[in-house]
Structures are given as structure tokens and as C-alpha cells.
Amino acid sequence: MTTVAFLGLGAIGRPMAARLAAASDIELAVWNRTADRARSFSAEHRARHAATPADAARGAAVVITCLPISADVERLLDGPDGLLAGFSKGAALVDCTSGDPATSRRIASRLAEHGVGFLDAPVSGGTIGAEQGTLTVMVGGDAALLDRVRPVLSAFGKKIVHCGDVGAGDALKAVNNALLAVHVWSTGEGLAALEKLGVKADVALDVINASSGRSNASMNLFPERVLTRAFPRTFRLALLDKDIGIAAGVARDQKVPAPLLQLAADLFRIAHNALGEEADHVEAVKLVEQWAGVRIGDTK
Ligand code: NDP
């Protein structure tokens, strides 16, 4: 049996934790800031509800966090209820937050002082991938530590890739999500223009998806979420805004001119400010429609 703790039962964390709870060789403890969510999780799944981060980490070989930003994880380290008060020497913190490299490096060095390992291990594949255990996990840090925790991560991850030193997983995740943002926005602009010209959106997508302009946005997000006007809330726009900012920051730190990433960061910041904290990332298209004065999919 491997003792695992999971902290952060949000939109993606909860189904990830459910996969761990279902693994027969894992003994799971869960903690969530809003305690009711952890209580209801342990009522439904085979998991102990921990009262504090320290309580969750106590006796755990692997502690997994999945919070909005790296700074939230860093803030959980200290104090009498903090993770450091509970960690055993030789344990590992695997942070599945889509975090930022600099904070991850700081967390790693703080933990190293206490004999605790650290991996940044953000995920992609969305809430459905988490439910199905098919997430991609991109990992930064010691490869030997990854080998040790890989069996645990495989409860929710299908493709688990070592990307480089601490922070490499964060950087790669941020770039991936910046590309997602560019695809969502630019597909929206293109379809809005075609709509005004009288080209039906489903016809346009049918052609684009058989051609070189296709993307996950055109193949899945627009048909399933925009044309249906369903806009399910699976991944908050606020979190995508944060990811593109990290990607633009990585480019800046590496002295790579990246005007397109910076523009995407600004556009999604505008959309985030306009649509609020709870809006889904695909709802950014509503701003493109507003600016264009057209609704994608209205041409019959
Ligand atoms: P949510 O906003 O749905 O959930 C956030 C979770 O973090 C909740 O459990 C929340 O607790 C907790 N939390 C928020 N702030 C703090 C804090 N300061 N201290 C302690 N706990 C806190 O986010 P997601 O689950 O969607 O995302 C989590 C991470 O995973 C993000 O970095 C995101 O970018 C990434 N991600 C998300 C994907 C998705 O499809 N949703 C896909 C891939 C990556 P409480 O219940 O109290 O609010």
C-alpha cells in the first residue's frame, strides 16, 4: 500500500483524486480549503478526510496538490497546520497545479532543506481526461523521483513525460495553454467574419476540420460548446488567463520575442475582466462575437 494525500478538490482535482481513491494499492487522505467538499468526497470514496494540510501529509509517501496557482501551494507549506509540519523525511510533493517555474523552484529548494522531494507535474486532458484516467502529466524535477512516484501518477495519467528540471513541466503546460488560447480566439475571429459573409459555421468547421487550419478548438470546442451555446464550465477563463501570462513570462525570461503570446495574454486578460471569475475559457468567444457584432452559428 502507498499512502497518498491529495489537496485541492476543484474541477480537475476532484476526479483525479477519485481515480486515486479507486486504486486498490493506494491509501488516500484528502484535504480541501472548503472542508465540506473534502467531507462529501470521503463520504463517496474510499478516502480519509484530513482536517489540515499537515494532517494530510502525516505518514504520506506522496502528497499531490492541485490548486489554482503555485503561490497557493507555497502558502500551504508553513505554520502549525502547514505541509512542512506533517511531511516525513523522504516523502515527495507532486504539484499538479498549472504553476509557474520560479515559484516551483522556490518550493523545491524549501522542501529539499527538509529532505522532501518535489516535482512540478501539471496535467492536460481536461476534466473528462481526469475522470477517465487519461491525462497527460508533464513533469519537471529529478527523473529518479518521477520513476518512484510514476505508479501513483498512473492512476490518473496515461502519458507521463519527464520534461526537464524543476519548472520545465510548468513552462511546457503554459505554452500548451497559450496555444489553446490562440486557437480559441483566432478560430472565433475567422468564424465571425465568415458568419457575416453568410457562410454557415458548421459548413466552415466541416471544411477547416478536413484542412490545415484545424485544432482542438475547431474540432471539439466550437462544435460542442459554441455552436450548441452550451458553454459548459469545465476550465475557468481566469485560469487560462493565468497560464498565458506564465507562457509570455517564460518567453520574456528567455529573451524570446513573443508578440503573439503577449497579445493573447492581453486579450484573455480583457476577456477575464469582462466575463468574471466563473466564466469558462471558451466563453472568451462571446467577446469576439460582441466586437464583431455577430453570433457564430446564427446563419441558417
Ligand atoms: P478550481 O477553481 O475548480 O478549483 C480550485 C481548487 O483549489 C479548489 O479545491 C479550491 O478550494 C482550491 N483553492 C483555491 N485557492 C486556494 C488557496 N488559496 N488555498 C488552498 N486551496 C485553494 O480549479 P481547477 O480544479 O479547474 O484547476 C486547478 C489547477 O489545475 C489549476 O492550476 C488549473 O489551471 C489546472 N488545470 C485545470 C484543468 C481543468 O480542466 N479544469 C485542466 C488542466 C489543468 P475551494 O473548494 O475551497 O474553493
- Is 0.95 surpassed by the pTM of this model? yes
141-155 per-position pLDDT tens digit: 999 999 999 999 999
CB 233 less than 6 A from any atom of ligand 1: no
In this prediction, residue 300 carries a pLDDT of 75
Average pLDDT over every residue of 91-109: 98
247-288 per-position pLDDT tens digit: 999 999 999 999 999 999 999 999 999 999 999 999 999 999
The CA distance from 136 to 150, in Å, is 12
Mutate to test the pocket of ligand 1, among 128, 235, 272 (most ligand atoms within 8 A of CB): 235
The CA distance from 219 to 296, in Å, is 15
- Cβ atoms of 126 and 234 within 8 Å: the answer is yes
161-172 per-position pLDDT tens digit: 999 999 999 999
- The percentage of the chain sitting over the pLDDT mark of 90, rounded to a whole number, equals 99
Output the CA 187–ligand 1 centroid distance in Å: 27
Output the CA 219–ligand 1 centroid distance in Å: 26
Average pLDDT over every residue of 74-85: 98
Output the CA 299–ligand 1 centroid distance in Å: 37
25-72 per-position pLDDT tens digit: 999 999 999 999 999 999 999 999 999 999 999 999 999 999 999 999
Q: Quickly list DSSP for 144-204.
A: HHHHHHHHHHTTTEEEEEEEESTTHHHHHHHHHHHHHHHHHHHHHHHHHHHHHHT--HHHH
The CA distance from 136 to 119, in Å, is 15
DSSP bridge pairs for 118: 93
In this prediction, residue 82 carries a pLDDT of 98
Pull the grid cell for residue 195.
Answer: 458568419
- Cβ atoms of 43 and 14 within 8 Å: the answer is no
CB 23 less than 6 A from any atom of ligand 1: no
Helix 168-197 vs helix 201-208: angle between axes, to the nearest 10 degrees?
130
What confidence category does residue 89 fall into, taking pLDDT thresholds of 50, 70 and 90?
very high
- Active-site annotation holder among 89, 158, 159, 173: 173
In this prediction, residue 142 carries a pLDDT of 98
State the chain's mean pLDDT as an integer. Answer: 98
Output the CA 72–ligand 1 centroid distance in Å: 10
CB 66 less than 6 A from any atom of ligand 1: yes
In this prediction, residue 229 carries a pLDDT of 97
- The percentage of the chain sitting over the pLDDT mark of 70, rounded to a whole number, equals 100
255 is catalytic: no
Average pLDDT over every residue of 194-219: 98
What confidence category does residue 127 fall into, taking pLDDT thresholds of 50, 70 and 90?
very high
